[in-house]
Structure 1
Amino acid sequence: MPVDAPTGALRVLPMGEAALLVEVVDIDSVLDLHAVLASLVSAGEGVWAGVDELVAGARTLLLVTRPATDLDALSRALGGLPVPRQRHLRDAHQRGDGPVVEIPVDYSGADLAEVARLTGLTPTEVIAAHTGTPWRVGFGGFAPGFAYLVGGDPRLTVPRRTEPRTRVPAGSVGLAGEFSGIYPRSSPGGWQLIGTTKVALWDEQRDPPALLLPGTTVRFVAEGS
């Protein structure tokens, strides 16, 4: 079983008998590392053939492995990843390479006026800011199909609601902190709601079921524009 192993910019920690947790400095580093590992796992060569799943977090990446995978060897392989390659992949993403998902939105959310007040923008300017900058999926969580979107217009950084709603309708598009997100199903929530979409974020008949995977670019489009 591997021990806590600093590997340059990475910190690798054991997670039970069949997983490793890699800690990095920020969400950009998570996306860099996810892109590198997804390519290696897809190729399925050497120790990477033992990785069954990659689960991204805000500053972590979990590697879930198949039975009998040598976690010590996997930890050493993580330490040998070339940093220049990660930077290259990040630059490629900024050029627009990789999957892109377009999300049409009806911008009539209950908190649109409040977001305008908090940001000092007009409602029209809030919509323009949300649609004018591409977002990317940082990581998933909260509910199946929910994705935390990062990299949007920094003017849209707003606090969560002081009183969460007991029910937020499925398809609601919201803002909270630096993130944007879409509620895949009806649930309680405290994000500032600026619109709604009819796009299905989670479909068990789809492979994979989640529409928005880490590293995917998301472009919001105002309906009728």
Structure 2
Amino acid sequence: MKVPIEVVAIDCLMVRLFEVIDQANMPWMLAAVARLREHFASTLIDLVPSYTTLMVHYDLTQLNPNQARELIHAALTDLAPDPHANGTHHVLPVWYDPSVGPELSLLAKRSGLSVREVIACHSQREYQVFALGFAPGFAFMGLVEEIIAAPRLNTPRKRVAAGSVGIAERQTAAYPVVSPGGWNLIGRTPSLLFDRQREGYSLMQPGDSVSFASIDHAEFIRLGGDDTPLTGQA
């Protein structure tokens, strides 16, 4: 598999595996991750997969850039997905409500659907975790139905509550920690998405799949959810 390799930093190379975002990419991405870990062994510092690219951070004291490129090409030769390599499936309970999802009604209006139909559209689909980034444990997932896709807010919020579930374009995600954010918020999950006591810290990893399960307010509170309202651009 001959792929373009771009320089990111003196000790980082970006492998461009694909040109377009597609759920079918992930088995190939996971196979590439496994092969690169095997070939780089102790010289590897980190691998960061994304929708179409894979960043390789290597130890410059053990490899020079040309050697790193050679290892990448060797690792990707005759690459094929492993049919037995399946990620973990997660079910995240979500309380869909305008008090914690201020854009829920807006998405309904934009799409021509009822609020109930927007919730069903979002929760009745299985999503692929493509990448982690932006904040610790923040999993970029896709792809949502086009009818409920929406651009990011023109003005990001200064504070988004942990657990907030949102949509940006055809991506969906749940904020693992309190942070700024510009996604369209439609609900909140009580699930602990980032935990320093957990191996790997993040609940979800690239290659995992996720389903959202609609729950009522009582169940949300029973599961430890914080129902403090979030409105407007606060």
TM-score by length of 2: 0.78
Alignment correspondent of 1:52: 45
1:87-133 deviation per Cα after TM superposition (whole angstroms, max 9, x unaligned): x65xx78xxx3211111100112211111111121111111111111
Q: How does 1:15-164 map to 2 (within 5 A)?
A: 15-23=8-16, 24-28=18-22, 31-41=26-36, 44=38, 46-66=39-59, 67-80=61-74, 81-82=76-77, 85-86=80-81, 97-108=86-97, 109-164=101-156
Q: How does 1:187-198 map to 2 (within 5 A)?
A: 187-198=179-190
Matching residue within 210, 216, 219 for 2:202:
210
- Paired residue secondary structure (2:204): coil
- C-alpha separation in 1, matches of 2:184 and 2:40: 44
- C-alpha separation in 2, matches of 1:179 and 1:209: 22
- C-alpha separation in 2, matches of 1:26 and 1:70: 30
Alignment correspondent of 1:3: none
Q: Structure 1's 83 and 149: CA in aligned 2 closer, same or farther, altered over 3 A?
A: farther
TM-score by length of 1: 0.81
1:64 offset after TM fit, Å?
1.3
Matching residue within 6, 26, 33 for 1:13:
6
- C-alpha separation in 1, matches of 2:10 and 2:161: 39
1:30 offset after TM fit, Å?
6.0
Residues 36 and 72 of structure 2 are in contact (CA less than 8 Å); yes or no, is this contact kept in structure 1? no
- C-alpha separation in 1, matches of 2:213 and 2:27: 26
Q: Structure 1's 199 and 207: CA in aligned 2 closer, same or farther, altered over 3 A?
A: same
- C-alpha separation in 2, matches of 1:41 and 1:84: 11
- Paired residue secondary structure (1:202): coil
- Paired residue secondary structure (1:174): strand
1:52-77 deviation per Cα after TM superposition (whole angstroms, max 9, x unaligned): 32112343211112340354344234
1:18 offset after TM fit, Å?
2.5
Identity of aligned residues (%): 30
User: C-alpha root-mean-square deviation of aligned residues, in Å?
Assistant: 2.5
Matching residue within 212, 215, 221 for 1:220:
212
Residues 100 and 218 of structure 1 are in contact (CA less than 8 Å); yes or no, is this contact kept in structure 2? yes
Q: Structure 1's 82 and 223: CA in aligned 2 closer, same or farther, altered over 3 A?
A: farther
- C-alpha separation in 1, matches of 2:87 and 2:151: 31
Alignment correspondent of 2:225: none
Q: Structure 1's 33 and 12: CA in aligned 2 closer, same or farther, altered over 3 A?
A: farther
- C-alpha separation in 1, matches of 2:151 and 2:139: 18
164-173 or 19-28: bigger deviation: 19-28
Residues 27 and 138 of structure 1 are in contact (CA less than 8 Å); yes or no, is this contact kept in structure 2? no
171-180 or 59-68: bigger deviation: 59-68
Size of the alignment, in residue pairs? 210
196-205 or 151-160: bigger deviation: 151-160
1:212 offset after TM fit, Å?
1.7
